[in-house]
Structure 1
Amino acid sequence: MLFYKKLLSAFAGAAQSLGAGAILVNPWNVTDVATAIGRALNMLPAEREKRHKHNFLHVKSHTAQEWAGTFVSELNDTVIEAQLRTRQVPPRLPTDIAIRRYLHSTNRLLILGFNGTLTEPVEKTGDQIKEMELKVHPELRQPLTALCSDPNTTVVVLSGSGRKVLDDNFKEYDMWLAAENGMFLQPSKGEWMTTMPEHLNMEWVDSVKHVFEYFTERTPRSHFDFEERETSLVWNYKYADVEFGKLQARDMLQHLWTGPISNSSVEVVQGSRSVEVRAVGVTKGAAIDRILGEIVHSKSMTSPIDYVLCIGHFLGKDEDLYTFFEPDLPSIGVSLPRSKSTTEAVKFPAEKKQALKIPASSKNGPKSLSQNKVQKPVSNSDQKKTNNQICSSPRRPAQENTSWNVLDLKKENYFSCAVGRNRTNARYTLASPDHVVEFLMELADALPHSLLHS
């Protein structure tokens, strides 16, 4: 009998995941079952093979190991959220100390968020289209120019926004841009490249897009910019009625978990007034090790980074960026767990740990950008590719040379700062983007006179 593999009760738990390749039946309806048996017996071999292949691939990719990893990850997130609710509010960023330590260091890394960090204040005029436009604060032009001109400082803007938004706001500066939570990277004055992990599954995008469109139509003043990003989808109800928006967001989550993403390797990240769906493991902290490797390789660094300043208004899921650089992790583990590649790669010699290492060939002299890229360059002017095509871009082969320490970061030279958030993994806080602007202006003013006028 060939049809037994093709029939599946519509009430079985497996119907949700294997229903696409099987013939679903109501086992209590004799006529329905008989009809389905006849259909299975007379099914063409090509269709039978196609259905079997579809279900086989699903079973092969959704393993017990993957389920366990997702389950443990969600448990860790729950623990972290509970710990954040009971933690004390971090102190305000000690700007004087941060500036003094900056001036006494030799190789600095500045990681800045964009939205809610470097953006200009938005006047509530009722013009939603104008309010939605993200623009860099006008008073940041001089300090950003000065900081980017410092040969001993590398400035990275790491944002969830798309490439076009970052290009429009920062193309005039000599800085690195990391779009879509670090999945796309543009070196200083270089071309965009993708840093996505291999085999990143984006097949869920179209089905989630339909759900977001459905709720956008039914929630006045909500919006969903599906053309801006390629590795995540965000539905925003910031301008909608607060209570109605929350109710719609709750209904949306039920639709997502019981439908499009019930068996997909994705994570739902809830903001204060947004719902974001992204592939599992796509966070700013997971991307920063790849970004660091590119920076070291491209700039041919020969001395370790000894000062890191990380400021941003990041979602809780992305605060693993703060703990990535943390030299003195708490013993109770209140921070997000690092990925396997991160834990193996990043340690800190100041705390008697092994440092992040990069192949020694990176420091053997400058190389052209085309030699250093981990991914195929992606131009905004090129025709937009499908998600699967982007994910299959070639990677740089692993190198087997001896390594050297990239980070020599002592506790007093690391400053992580959350903007506008009190529950955070960061060491310090600043209240608003205006305070970030004030601090960066003070930092730029402390630079040597030659850099201020370069």
Structure 2
Amino acid sequence: MYQPGDTIWVNDYHLMLLPALLRQRLPDAIIGFFLHIPFPSSEIFRCLPTRKELLEGVLESDLIGFQTYSFARHFLQTCSRILSLEATPRGIQMDSHYVNIGIFPIGIDIAGFNEKRSQPDVGRWVEVLQEKYAGKKIIVARDKLDSIKGVRQKMLAFEQFLTNHPEWQGKVILIQVALSTTEQNELQAHITDVVSRVNSKFSNIAYQPIVFLHQDISFSQYLALLTTADAALITPLRDGMNLTSHEYVACQHDKHGPLILSEFTGTYGTFGACLRVNPWDYRQVSDAIHEALSMNDEEKYNRWQSLYDNVATNTAQYWAASFIAELDKVKADTSRRYSTHIPVLNPTTFGDTYAKTKKRLFMLDYDGTLAAFNKSPQSLPSPQRINQVLQKLSQDPNNTVYVLSGQSKDNMNIRLGNISTIGMSAESGAYIRQPGGQWEDVFDNVDVSWKPAVMEIFEYYTERTPGSSIENKDVSIVWHFGTADHPQFGAWLAAECQNHIMESIGKNTTVHAIAGKQNIEVIPRDITKAAVAARILQSVQPDFVMAIGDDRADEELFAYINKLNIPNTITCTVGAKSTEALYFVNGVHSVLTILENLP
């Protein structure tokens, strides 16, 4: 059925593997995924034997939607811990593409719902209920008989309400509609025991406090029940949005009955005017029932109006439209290209242009671009070929060559200090050395007050990862886990470490943890290769620019250079990944070969 340009929208947890299966068949498709249920915390999700496959399946989407911020946060933390991915509140950078994360609270079709509510059959059932329960306060509830819906806890809380507030005995009726599920569990027996006990304790010949209907009722009866109610008691132990609360608010145009809502529903995040309860705290639920039934009309109306405004705004139509609109933005964003869609960098691509231009600027990354990664970050790579390439390139009077590295000034001096004709940048842009010059600070008064806290965290993980090491630079700290005795264990702990840093420090300081292939670097957010490139371009006005790099720190540099109006711009990433670069090469050997073969 798929035609080029179509949008694919996958819905709910049953199909978490589907985006990856679709991506194999349709690599260019725009795929959205929406999760209608809560996403569990990483502590729970990591117990699943298929945790990796489920995450990788859904991460082939271009956009993943959640009901609330907390569900999205759990997902991002889980991806960070299990897959060692760099996650931000807006999305996740994969090797093949970028995944957007969005919050889209679902609602109801308010216009269609009001139309059904106005049907004559509903009005007849309202009259029946008003006559049957005249003089009584009605509390309504409708739940599936699932263990997470908290029906038993609700009955125990109602029992405590009648015990703690005897003045309401004989005056309040809880009507609980309990829908059957396919689960075979003992829950019904446990609930029935509580219902029987409450009814036998508080009933009389004319009064039964709990009406327990283990059946579904017609939609008109359901609407009549919501319309007649004096309060709604919605207390699941864990739930998505729970649209019963939306339907109750829409039905309360005349009575403005309060809504008692569990804090563990997704809806609670947008329903500030409800009465919030912890369904495990029976006393709190009991007090909330008393407050709801005792509330004055003015407060009832003000709370209801606030809730109704929310229901009328965040409709089902708005939810669908906002999700599709966000997917359309993704579709229009040309930077989300797969590396297979950008050409391989080849000297024939730009050979003629290179020969004709007179003022050329080269900005080259070091580790992973000019030099391959080594077992030990302190050991020297074989410098001969790299030095020859850089010397030849920089001796051309038309060329200005800079090597931009995340390494310290001392390490850069050891590796390339003997080549006076090149410029260098150290610590990802904190320092710069002009060709033939001395090291200078790019930034003034860099705040490093966060370093002791980060060092403490890194020391904790270093103790548990034999073979790993900490490198304390002037403005950043790096934990090298690629040198661990057991690299797989080191990589696993690195994901924990990155999550730990951003949770404890990243929220309160202007630093970020950059996960490399073999290390984690914590560095102030302002210090970037793009910032040092801007400094270089103040003194060099090139008509040809080439920037080559291999990791996430280089992406900001690529994005910055691509936006400049320099006549001949070549940005190139090393390896197949989602990138801001215009070209890619397969590895270090390819980079050196291209530079060697320049005319």
| Structure-1-length-normalised TM-score | 0.55
Q: Secondary structure at the match of 1:225?
A: strand
* Pairing 1:119–2:364 present: no
Partner of 1:433: 588
Partner of 1:144: 390
CA pair 85-109 structure 1, distance change in 2 beyond 3 A: closer
* Pairing 1:108–2:355 present: no
Instruction: Answer yes or no: is the 8 Å Cα contact 2:359–2:543 preserved in 1.
Output: yes
Structure 2 unmatched runs, 5+: 1-86, 101-334
* Pairing 1:422–2:577 present: yes
Instruction: Answer yes or no: is the 8 Å Cα contact 2:387–2:416 preserved in 1.
Output: no
Instruction: Answer yes or no: is the 8 Å Cα contact 2:393–2:401 preserved in 1.
Output: yes
Distance in 2 between residues matched to 1:156 and 1:284, nearest whole Å: 11
* Pairing 1:252–2:503 present: no
- The CA deviation at 1:137 is 4.0
- The CA deviation at 1:423 is 2.4
Partner of 1:48: none
The one-letter amino acid of 1:320's match is: E
Partner of 1:135: 381
* Pairing 1:180–2:427 present: yes
* Pairing 1:288–2:533 present: yes
CA pair 136-244 structure 1, distance change in 2 beyond 3 A: same
Q: Secondary structure at the match of 2:477?
A: strand
- The CA deviation at 1:305 is 1.1
Distance in 1 between residues matched to 2:512 and 2:597, nearest whole Å: 39
Partner of 1:32: none
CA pair 191-285 structure 1, distance change in 2 beyond 3 A: same
- The CA deviation at 1:282 is 1.9
Distance in 1 between residues matched to 2:481 and 2:405, nearest whole Å: 20
Distance in 2 between residues matched to 1:286 and 1:425, nearest whole Å: 17
* Pairing 1:154–2:389 present: no
Distance in 1 between residues matched to 2:499 and 2:467, nearest whole Å: 21
Task: Name which structure has the greater RCO, CA cutoff 8 Å, separation 6+.
Answer: 1
Partner of 2:523: 278
- The CA deviation at 1:155 is 0.3
Distance in 2 between residues matched to 1:217 and 1:421, nearest whole Å: 34
1:52-131 correspondence runs (5 A):
74-75=88-89, 78=92, 81-82=98-99, 87-89=338-340, 90-119=342-371, 122=374, 128-129=375-376
1:300-319 correspondence runs (5 A):
304-313=541-550, 315-319=551-555
- The CA deviation at 1:99 is 2.5
Match of 2:556 among 320, 327, 338: 320
- The CA deviation at 1:318 is 3.2
Partner of 1:189: 436
- The CA deviation at 1:112 is 0.7
CA pair 190-436 structure 1, distance change in 2 beyond 3 A: same
| Structure-2-length-normalised TM-score | 0.43
- The CA deviation at 1:270 is 1.6
More strand by share: 2
Aligned residues: 273
Distance in 2 between residues matched to 1:132 and 1:167, nearest whole Å: 13
CA pair 88-142 structure 1, distance change in 2 beyond 3 A: closer
Report the aligned-residue RMSD.
2.5
Partner of 1:236: 480
Distance in 2 between residues matched to 1:272 and 1:176, nearest whole Å: 26
Distance in 2 between residues matched to 1:317 and 1:149, nearest whole Å: 28
Partner of 1:60: none
Distance in 2 between residues matched to 1:91 and 1:97, nearest whole Å: 9
Distance in 2 between residues matched to 1:88 and 1:146, nearest whole Å: 30
Is the radius of gyration larger for structure 1 or structure 2?
2
The one-letter amino acid of 1:185's match is: I
1:161-172 correspondence runs (5 A):
161-172=407-418
Instruction: Answer yes or no: is the 8 Å Cα contact 1:418–1:430 preserved in 2.
Output: yes
- The CA deviation at 1:175 is 0.8
After superposition, the C-alpha distances for 1:115-151 in whole angstroms (9 at most, x for unaligned) are 01111575xxxxx54x642436422333322221111
What's the % identity of the aligned pairs?
Answer: 28
Q: Secondary structure at the match of 2:345?
A: coil
CA pair 91-191 structure 1, distance change in 2 beyond 3 A: same
Instruction: Answer yes or no: is the 8 Å Cα contact 1:178–1:186 preserved in 2.
Output: yes
The one-letter amino acid of 1:272's match is: K
Instruction: Answer yes or no: is the 8 Å Cα contact 2:498–2:515 preserved in 1.
Output: no
After superposition, the C-alpha distances for 1:382-406 in whole angstroms (9 at most, x for unaligned) are xxxxxxxxxxxxxxxxxxxxxxxxx
Instruction: Answer yes or no: is the 8 Å Cα contact 1:110–1:308 preserved in 2.
Output: yes
